[in-house]
């Protein structure tokens, strides 16, 4: 597991029972950590004993490295082998990696997509106040709403929808935010977009 370093993008294991067992003596388990399971995060510190501090959705937790898989290499390989998994999904993984790997620059409206991918609600709100007309700006061909929908950042999705993000915008493969929410496994996000779609049709 030493192949994971500070700055790497990782996925947290989603099996709660296993994670609880692995966390004993390694950062321990608290119920507050539950939302981080199965999510994508970034390693911000590696401790002497190998435990890792991971930032997930704006919060950070200490995990046993056994709970983490490197998002880059492993997932791309797995995606290719699982019944030749949807091409679009593997491209999506590499695009999300590119977005997450970028440095944010407060002045650049493109950073909105990066902040949305990281689930930084405060930053997203702040940037939309500065650049309300940039809500649908693209980074790597994807909008903030699309990446936040896929990664399940519910609060970010709500803020973007309130800021009149265009739900129906498609990426270059013809997928809208709704498709992104469906690729991810976050029913709440999916429901939120469905609802706002209905309200926009009504109003």
Question: 88: which residues sit within 8 A by CB, 6+ positions away?
Answer: 173, 175, 183
CB neighbourhood size of 152 (10 A): 22
Q: Which of 43, 70, 97 is the last residue of a domain?
A: 70
Tell me: the pLDDT tens digits for 163-173?
999 888 888 77
Q: Does pTM surpass 0.75?
A: no
Q: Which of 70, 97, 117 is the last residue of a domain?
A: 70
Residues 91 and 130 reside in one and the same domain: yes
Residues 63 and 94 reside in one and the same domain: no
CATH of the domain at 151: 1.25.40.20
Annotate the chain with three-state secondary structure.
CCCCCCCCEEEECCCHHHHHHHHCCCCCCCHHHHHHCCCEEEEEEECCCCCEEEEECCEEEEECHHHEEECCHHHHHHHHHHHHCCHHHHHHHHHHHHHHHCCCCCCCCCHHHHHHHHCCHHHHHHHHHHCHHHCCCEECCEEHHHHHHHHCCHHHHHHHHHCCCCCCCCCCCCCCHHHHHHHCCCHHHHHHHHHHHHHHHHC
Is residue 46 within 8 Å of 56, Cβ to Cβ?
Answer: no
What tokens does 114 get?
A: 């990066």
Ranking 9-18, 97-106, 192-201 by mean pLDDT, the lowest is 192-201
What is the chain's mean pLDDT, rounded?
A: 80
Residues 123 and 178 reside in one and the same domain: yes
What tokens does 14 get?
A: 């989603």
Q: Which of 24, 21, 61 is nearest to 41 (CA)?
A: 61
Q: Is the pLDDT of residue 81 over 50?
A: no
Residues 99 and 194 reside in one and the same domain: yes
Tell me: the pLDDT tens digits for 115-169?
999 999 999 999 999 999 999 999 888 999 989 988 888 899 999 989 999 888 8
Count of domains for the chain? 2
Does residue 76 lie within any of the structural domains? Answer: no
Residues 135 and 58 reside in one and the same domain: no
CB neighbourhood size of 177 (10 A): 32
Q: Which domain holds residue 95?
A: 86-202
């Amino acid at each position: 597991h030493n192949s994971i370093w500070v700055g790497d993008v990782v996925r947290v294991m989603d099996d709660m029972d296993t994670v609880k067992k692995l966390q004993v003596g390694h950062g321990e388990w608290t119920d507050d950590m539950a939302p981080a399971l199965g999510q994508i995060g970034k390693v911000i510190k590696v401790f002497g004993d190998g435990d890792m501090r991971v930032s997930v959705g704006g919060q950070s937790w200490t995990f046993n490295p056994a709970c983490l898989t490197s998002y880059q290499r492993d997932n791309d390989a797995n995606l290719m082998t699982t019944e030749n998994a949807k091409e679009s999904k593997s491209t999506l993984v590499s695009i999300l990696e590119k977005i997450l790997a970028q440095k944010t620059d407060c002045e650049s409206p493109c950073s909105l997509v990066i902040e949305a991918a990281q689930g930084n609600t405060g930053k997203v709100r702040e940037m939309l106040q500065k650049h309300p007309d940039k809500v649908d700006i693209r980074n790597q061909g994807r909008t903030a709403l699309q990446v936040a929908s896929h990664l399940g950042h519910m609060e970010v999705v709500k803020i973007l929808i309130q800021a009149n993000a265009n739900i129906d915008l498609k990426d270059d493969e013809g997928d809208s935010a709704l498709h992104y929410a469906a690729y991810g496994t976050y029913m709440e996000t999916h429901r939120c977009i469905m609802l706002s779609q209905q309200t926009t049709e009504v109003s």
